[in-house]
Amino acid sequence: MQHAHDEKHFTAGEAVRDIVIGMSDGLTVPFALAAGLTGAISQTRLIVTAGFAEIAAGSIAVGLGGYLAARSDAEHYQHEQRREEEEIIAIPEAEAQEVRDIFRTYGISPAECETVVESLRKRPKDWVSFMMRFELGLEAPSPGRAWKSALTIAGAYVVGGFIPLSAYLVRQDAQAALRLSVVVTLASLAVFGGVKGRFTGVPVLRGALQTTVIGGLAAAAAFGIARWIG
């Protein structure tokens, strides 16, 4: 039943989510930075240097940010779990009342849910699991998730960032490199947005359009700012 239900309500898995996070930023920010610098300077070598420095900085910041977020979720879960374990021993009446309050928000009377409350009171472990999910809306985090998440996000960022910069490696003239980079990156953003849409339930064309517009806007803003300062 659980399996059939997973298929019915399909949503992105954790790894897909991490790849999407890393690649969205990786395709967009180094692209926009390189495009922006082309508005101010003409040496492709400097643009490439700045681009790779950005990929290093961005992938570490986003990857370690993902690591901390996943670890802090796991710690938050454990912290709240201990608290619930203590509370159902220390103040069982108050916790039983909380169960009734949860049901009341769905129009279920104390009398109607009494058998459920009594059943939970017999099994402290199930009771804690019930409170974690139904009172706090928290899901048990998968072990080892934090590092896997960090590496997936950072790796996707690096892969995404290489695409716009590759144009500056094959073209010596900065303007020509920019034109090639715009074509290659906007096409990649469209493909990425479409594939991402498949996983997140957004229509393919709209997904493609969204990521392309974001990348284009970011690049145009960076170009404008760099030209204005540079």
Looking only at residues 34 through 73 of this chain, which bind a copy of itself when binding is defined by CB under 8 A?
A: 36-37, 39-41, 45-46, 48-50, 52-58, 60-62, 64-65, 68, 72
Q: Does 86 bind a copy of itself (CB under 8 A)?
A: no
CA-wise closest residue to 153 among 217, 68, 73: 68
Options 123-131, 140-148, 173-181: segment touching a copy of itself (CB under 8 A): 123-131
Q: Does 98 bind a copy of itself (CB under 8 A)?
A: yes
If the CB atoms of residues 2 and 93 are measured against a copy of itself, the closer one turns out to be: 2
* Structure tokens, 32: 């926009």
Is 52 within 8 Å of 187 (Cβ atoms)? no
Cα gap 201→179, rounded to integer Å = 32
Q: Does 115 bind a copy of itself (CB under 8 A)?
A: yes
Looking only at residues 140 through 199 of this chain, which bind a copy of itself when binding is defined by CB under 8 A?
A: none
Q: Does 14 bind a copy of itself (CB under 8 A)?
A: no
Measured CA to CA in angstroms, residue 190 lies from 98, 170, 209, 215, 230 at distances of: 48, 22, 6, 10, 30
Angle, helices 174-200 vs 145-170, to 10°: value is 150
Cα gap 66→145, rounded to integer Å = 10
Q: Which of 15, 75, 91, 183 binds a copy of itself (CB under 8 A)?
A: 75
If the CB atoms of residues 16 and 40 are measured against a copy of itself, the closer one turns out to be: 40
Q: How far is the CB of 146 from a copy of itself (least distance, A)?
A: 12
